[in-house]
Amino acid sequence: MAKIKVIVDKSQLRVTREEYLQLLARNKGAVREMRVLEEAKKAQLEAAAEKLETAVAEVKKKEETPVEKEKKEEA
Residue-wise pLDDT for 19-55, tens only, equals 888 888 989 989 899 999 999 999 999 999 999 999 9
Output the pLDDT for position 40.
Answer: 95
11 falls within a domain = no
Q: Among residues of the chain, what percentage have pLDDT more than 70?
A: 84
Q: Confidence band (pLDDT; 50, 70, 90) for 61?
A: confident
Count how many domains the chain has.
1
Give the integer Cα–Cα distance in Å for 71 and 22: 70
On whether the pTM is more than 0.75, the answer is no
Find the helix or strand (DSSP H, E) in which 13 lies: none
Give the integer Cα–Cα distance in Å for 34 and 59: 37
39 falls within a domain = yes
Give the integer Cα–Cα distance in Å for 73 and 70: 5
Give the integer Cα–Cα distance in Å for 18 and 24: 10
**What range does the domain containing 33 cover?**
17-66
